[in-house]
């Protein structure tokens, strides 16, 4: 049972303050967690509380920390930490708002996750082993070239990623991704682009003349890496189209190319890309509230994983609406978009029941805390997206997955490319 909660201000990978918490149980065991923070956040996400004012330029989280150390601590006092549902209900009830804006989704997720860690520690189990499922190592989706809000708008599409579909284990998949990052850096450098600096998620952020150019460099990088494009290494993109959608005109503005496209034209653009290179997954192809056109995109790209991030914001109700409308066939799951582990798991269970694939995802502002890796394995999400193969807040997750894989040894089960379909299990 939970005896106490202690919170403090920590830093995320962009150097912004974030909330860290430790939950201690009556038997003296404890667990802690630090929460991440997004940059290209969806309008419909749960709300992280920031202080405003002058401290940390307004980005401080002293208020959220104070809420954790008082109201939230009292709300979970005495609750059995192995009953995640009870812990999370108490946290939500204490907040009282649907978007957790009273006490802060950052405060709430830190306690929800630290409590899961404490329960695991009390049981003498790694976190991934506490969910009652056989562990499944996820297929990684790895950032190679970044644009959008993560690379100062170098290009408009936010992520160009590699999916190592031909790898037969998690460690081989990561090695493929590493080779592709190096191969892509090499072809970019030969073409005269700067590859010394990295973007928020550790990807390359060259100022390319067009979005299409980034796609082509990545395809060349895969070949340069000695991998066969499509069968060994395929491409995924996160368009993050909400970021360049203009509400007034109803058009999508590709600033790097000085083009304004309608929803139909934007879909056609990605259809053309897909005809030329093997793109297995497209995330946020349209804006978060472009509900009329998402089903058209889905119909236009059969066989592609159409992934909703800002569209669904890990919200069971938005996912249900999307399933109803046939808007997409996969959901990105970011626990801090909804605020508690229980609700994130609810989204995964709903997705599984409706043949929707799941991709567990980090945020662009991350920390050295690798809890996401354990959740991917224990929840059997099948896929994971945490950025590139550089920057410690990214490698912390890869390293944790490599540790779990080693620990499981011969019994390690790897999702592989099947996870791109609706039924990885």
Interface region with ligand PGA, contact rule CB under 6 A, candidates 138-146, 202-210, 222-230, 358-366: 358-366
Looking at 361, 381, 383, 395, which residue binds ligand PGA (CB under 6 A)? 361
CA distance 160 to 105: 29
Query: Known binder of ligand: residue 271?
Result: no
List, in sequence order, every residue forming a beta bridge with 145; answer none if it has no partner: 160, 204
Give the β-pairing of 139-146 and 30-34.
unpaired
> Does 342 contact ligand PGA by CB under 6 A?
no
412 interface partner picked from ligand PGA, Zn ion, none, CB below 5 to 8 A per type:
none
Residue nearest ligand PGA (C-beta atom): 38
In the annotation, is 201 catalytic?
Answer: yes
Site residues (CB under 6 A) for ligand PGA, limited to 224-243: 238, 240
364 interface partner picked from Zn ion, ligand PGA, none, CB below 5 to 8 A per type:
ligand PGA
Query: Nearest 10 degrees: CA dihedral of 165, 167, 169, 170?
Result: -60
CA distance 115 to 25: 9
Helix, strand, coil shares of the chain, percent, nearest 5, are 45, 20, 40
Catalytic member of 201, 224, 393, 405: 201
| Nearest to 284, CA basis, from 209, 230, 359 | 359
Query: Known binder of ligand: residue 321?
Result: no
Site residues (CB under 6 A) for ligand PGA, limited to 109-168: 158
Q: Report the nearest approach of Zn ion to the CB of residue 80 (Å).
A: 35
> Does 156 contact Zn ion by CB under 5 A?
no
Catalytic member of 48, 243, 334, 366: 334
* Residue ranges of E strands in 288-333: 305-308, 330-333
320 interface partner picked from Zn ion, ligand PGA, none, CB below 5 to 8 A per type:
none
> Does 309 contact ligand PGA by CB under 6 A?
yes
Residue 9 · residue 34 · CB < 8 Å? no
> Does 309 contact Zn ion by CB under 5 A?
yes
Which residues touch 57 (CB under 8 Å, ≥6 apart)? none
Catalytic positions, please? 201, 334
Given the rule CB under 5 A, which residues bind Zn ion? 238, 309
């Amino acid at each position: 049972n939970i005896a106490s909660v202690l919170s403090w201000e920590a830093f995320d990978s962009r150097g912004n303050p974030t909330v860290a918490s430790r939950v201690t149980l009556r038997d003296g065991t404890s667990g802690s967690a630090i929460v991440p923070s997004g940059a290209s956040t969806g309008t419909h996400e749960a709300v992280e509380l920031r202080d405003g004012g002058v401290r940390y330029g307004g980005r401080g989280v002293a208020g959220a920390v104070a809420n954790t150390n008082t109201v939230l601590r009292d709300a979970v006092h005495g609750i059995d930490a192995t009953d995640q549902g009870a812990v999370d209900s108490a946290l939500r009830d204490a907040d009282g708002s649907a978007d957790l804006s009273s006490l802060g989704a950052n405060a709430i997720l830190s306690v929800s996750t630290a409590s899961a860690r404490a329960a695991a520690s009390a049981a003498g189990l790694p976190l991934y082993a506490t969910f009652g499922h056989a562990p499944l190592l996820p297929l990684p989706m790895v950032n190679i070239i970044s644009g959008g809000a993560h690379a100062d708008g170098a290009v408009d599409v936010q992520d160009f990623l590699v999916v190592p579909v031909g790898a037969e284990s998690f460690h081989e998949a990561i090695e493929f991704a590493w080779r592709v990052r190096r191969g892509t850096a090499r072809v970019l450098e030969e073409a005269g682009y700067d590859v010394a600096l990295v973007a928020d998620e550790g990807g390359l952020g060259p100022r390319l003349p067009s979005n299409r150019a980034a796609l082509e460099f990545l395809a060349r990088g895969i070949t340069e890496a000695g991998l066969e494009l499509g069968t060994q290494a395929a491409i995924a993109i996160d368009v993050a189209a909400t970021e360049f959608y203009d509400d007034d005109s109803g058009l999508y503005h590709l600033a790097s190319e000085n083009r304004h496209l309608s929803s139909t034209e934007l879909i056609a653009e990605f259809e053309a890309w897909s005809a030329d290179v093997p793109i297995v997954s497209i995330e946020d192809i349209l804006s978060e509230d472009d509900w009329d056109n998402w089903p058209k995109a889905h119909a236009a790209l059969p066989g592609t994983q159409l992934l909703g991030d800002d569209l669904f914001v890990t919200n069971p109700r938005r996912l249900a609406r999307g399933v109803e409308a046939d808007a997409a066939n996969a959901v990105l799951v970011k626990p801090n978009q909804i605020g508690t582990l229980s609700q994130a798991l609810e989204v995964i269970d709903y997705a599984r029941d409706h043949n929707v694939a799941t991709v567990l995802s980090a945020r662009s502002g991350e920390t050295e805390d690798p809890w996401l890796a354990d959740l991917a394995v224990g929840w059997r999400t099948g896929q994971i997206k945490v950025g590139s193969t550089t920057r410690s807040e990214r490698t912390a997750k890869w390293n944790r997955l490599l540790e779990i894989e080693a620990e499981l040894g011969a019994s390690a089960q790897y999702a592989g490319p099947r996870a791109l379909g609706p039924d990885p299990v």
